[in-house]
Amino acid sequence: MTPPPSLMDRAEGSLLDPRLTHAEASARLRSWEDMGLAHVIAPPGLLATLEPEAHPAVSFAGAVAFPSGGSTLATKRMELLECLRLGAKAATAVLNPGLILSEDAPAMEKEMAALLSTAPELQVRFLVDVARVPEGPMTLLLRLLKSCRPAYLLPADGVYSVPCGPAEVARLRDRLPRRVRVMALADPRGPEEASSYFDSGADMICTARPERLVEAAP
């Protein structure tokens, strides 16, 4: 069964499970390619072994400072450049949660601006664990995003193990600058549930189970 084009075009397959072997990641990638999935995210180590140039129909994204976001800014910038070198077209960088929670606006702005300028060839996205950010720091972050605009903001819940639901996506979409798109970390059980994220304002979803967009899981 072929998935609805609108769903598959707006999905990114996630290979971010740290327990994935190269063989398992390669098998998933081949299966997703057969389904017509055009976007995949992987950590730099897997990017190196998957060899994006061998998969011209897939646009790869690299994961930077995943999952904690606690790397130094210099390390994050090197990771961005490594993602570019390995053939990625985009990169999702985890923002430093300590800077956000401490409401250190100058440091937050410095990190975001540096990440956006390090590799202009890359589409840069920011990932934030919104479930652990109180209202005050979140308001500051959203204000800074008006000037430091990533291609996407990825809202996460917990330590990225529990996807944000459509309601959280809708609340965030209402507060974000229009030029900042939302990519939801999601685990939809079928096309209908995936569509609910888009109805709530998500522009894309990032999921480890894009095959569920083909038909409802049994």
3-state secondary structure 86-136: CCCCEEEEECCHHHHHCCCHHHHHHHHHHHHHHCCCCEEEEEEEHHHCCHH
Q: For 101-157, how does the pLDDT look when each residue is reduced to its tens digit (9 = 90+)?
A: 999 999 999 999 999 999 999 999 999 988 889 999 999 999 999 999 999 999 986
pLDDT of res. 132: 84
Q: Which two tokens stand for residue 201?
A: 């304002």
Counting as low any pLDDT under 50, the low residues of the chain are 1-3, 216-218
pLDDT of res. 165: 87
Q: Is 194 left (phi over 0), alpha (psi -120 to 50) or beta?
A: alpha
pLDDT of res. 217: 43
pLDDT of res. 131: 80
**Ordered domains of the chain (ranges, CATH):** 5-213 (3.20.20.70)
| Residue 163 phi, psi dihedral angles, 5° rounding | -65, 150
Report yes or no: 64 and 88 within 8 Å, Cβ to Cβ.
Answer: no
| Cis peptide preceding 106, ω within 30 of 0 | no
Helix (H) or strand (E) holding 13: strand 11-14
- Residue matched to tokens 């923002």: 95
| Residue 15 phi, psi dihedral angles, 5° rounding | -115, 40
pLDDT of res. 187: 86
pLDDT of res. 128: 93
Would you tell me how many other CB atoms lie within 10 Å of the CB of residue 168? 17
Q: Which amino acid is at 91?
A: A
Would you tell me how many other CB atoms lie within 10 Å of the CB of residue 30? 11
